């Protein structure tokens, strides 16, 4: 199996170019980002070129984090900000070579939030041939987040009707919110654009907790892309990587 290091959590104590080099040294097959916008895209591209690592994707900005925002695309009245964030993510992804953009919806509920999210997703999908991802976040970590279940995501993907709109299937969020991870994966296989993982319930490395990743990874054996390690190391990242050699086989 192939694995991608999510540098939003792994080696997060290092400048992004250094984190890319650390991921390469550790044996990862790719990297992915959260919000890299404070680092010039050319610096990220230089580190990627130097290591030969591909970059899978990145997130749109969350908005005003200090006031509690966690995405903009489902916020009625904030369409201009949401689309500016989408444009920014596309431009950054173009420079660094990322193939996917996770559009974050933010906190909200109801028909107006739903309609706003759908229209902003249509804008994103029409603005780039890249894969646009949406990701349900679990109700424990992100109470009130507009997108919280895979069924809701599937319905939105069908409503938007764009071939490049896909589901970010995060085993951690699915495990905490819905359970039955392998069955949910099989049911949703045709709309999944990327897979991420972490232990449940502490979001640590995939070597402990409620989810048996030996079983889960075996069920994902036909997935051709790298699986995204998006876990919180709780200290030195390198000290948590025993699972990598085990599961790469």
pTM over 0.85: yes
Q: What pLDDT sits at residue 112?
A: 98
Q: What pLDDT sits at residue 165?
A: 98
Geometric angle at alpha carbon 10, from 178 and 53, rounded to 5°: 105
CATH architecture of the domain covering 55-248: Alpha-Beta Barrel (3.20)
Please state the domain extents for the chain: 55-248
Q: How far is CA 163 from CA 14, 17, 20, 134, 225, in A?
A: 36, 33, 31, 13, 18
Query: For residue 87, is the peptide bond before it cis, meaning its omega torsion is within 30 degrees of 0?
Result: no
Q: Mean pLDDT, consecutive 10-residue segments, the chain of 249 residues? A: 97 98 98 98 98 98 96 98 98 98 98 98 98 98 97 98 98 96 97 98 97 95 94 97 89
8 Å CB contact between 31 and 4: yes
- Residues forming the active site: 135, 230
Q: What pLDDT sits at residue 209?
A: 96
Q: What pLDDT sits at residue 248?
A: 82
Q: Is the dihedral of CA 25, 31, 33, 36 positive or negative?
A: positive
Q: What pLDDT sits at residue 249?
A: 62
Q: What pLDDT sits at residue 221?
A: 85
């Amino acid at each position: 199996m192939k694995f991608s290091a999510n540098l939003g959590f792994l080696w997060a104590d290092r400048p992004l170019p250094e984190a890319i080099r650390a991921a390469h040294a550790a044996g990862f097959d790719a990297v992915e980002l959260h919000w890299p916008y404070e680092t010039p895209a050319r610096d990220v591209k230089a580190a990627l070129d130097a290591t030969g690592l591909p970059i899978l994707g990145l997130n749109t900005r969350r908005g005003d984090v200090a006031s509690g925002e966690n995405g903009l695309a489902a916020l009625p009245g904030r369409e201009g900000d949401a689309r500016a964030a989408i444009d920014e993510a596309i431009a950054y992804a173009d420079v660094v070579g990322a193939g996917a953009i996770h559009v974050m919806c933010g906190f909200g509920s109801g028909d107006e939030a739903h309609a706003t999210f759908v229209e902003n997703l249509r804008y994103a999908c029409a603005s780039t041939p890249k894969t646009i991802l949406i990701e349900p976040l679990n109700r424990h970590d992100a109470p009130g987040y507009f997108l919280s279940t895979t069924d809701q995501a599937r319905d939105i993907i069908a409503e938007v009707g764009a071939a490049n709109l896909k589901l970010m299937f995060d085993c951690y969020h699915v495990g905490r919110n819905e359970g039955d991870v392998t069955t949910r994966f099989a049911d949703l296989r045709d709309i999944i654009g990327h897979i991420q993982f972490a232990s449940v319930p502490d979001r640590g490395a995939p070597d402990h907790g409620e989810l048996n990743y030996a079983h889960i990874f075996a069920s994902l054996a036909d997935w051709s892309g790298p699986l995204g390690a998006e876990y919180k190391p709780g200290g030195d990242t390198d000290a948590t990587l025993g699972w990598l050699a085990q599961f790469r086989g």
